[in-house]
Amino acid sequence: MQQQRPAPRLRLALEQIGAWVLDQPAAPPLNGQCCDRLRPKQIQRELLQSLETSGLEITALVEWRWDAQQGHAKGWLWQAGALQRFRWMRHSGQLTLHEQLRCINTAPLHALR
């Protein structure tokens, strides 16, 4: 079976499109940025499930990033009056927490008479 070659005009158009595509700059890596492209929904669901099953009290994600090259998520979470830095390894489920700031509720100040 003989392969047909494209018409000369079509061939020229395909060559120009190919040259244009190859001439475009590559997208910069997303390392270090904080955007939704670095926080995929599936990863977020798995992370929230892991936080829930780890036995932690009520937690809230403050900010987090997904590193696809390292296979981990890291960021900040709020748990039981403390702001904590966390790192979660997706494949092993390992979660490490480092307390950064603890907030304590105290009675309001009373003026002395």
| 83 within a domain of the structure (yes/no) | yes
55 DSSP assignment: T
| 62 within a domain of the structure (yes/no) | yes
| 94 within a domain of the structure (yes/no) | yes
| 30 within a domain of the structure (yes/no) | no
Domain total of the chain: 1
Cβ pair 34, 65 in contact under 8 A: yes
Q: Encode the chain (113 residues) as per-residue pLDDT tens digits.
A: 556 665 677 777 767 666 555 555 666 655 554 555 556 888 888 998 888 888 776 678 888 888 888 889 999 888 878 888 999 999 998 999 888 877 776 666 666 65
- Give me the pLDDT at residue 82, please: 84
| 44 within a domain of the structure (yes/no) | yes
Number of helices (H), then strands (E), in the chain: 2, 4
| 29 within a domain of the structure (yes/no) | no
Identify the domain containing residue 70 by its residue range: 36-102
| 42 within a domain of the structure (yes/no) | yes
Output the pTM of the full model. 0.57
| 47 within a domain of the structure (yes/no) | yes
- Give me the pLDDT at residue 33, please: 46
Any residues with CB less than 8 A from the CB of 17 and at least 6 apart, and which? none
| Run of H or E including 8 | helix 8-23
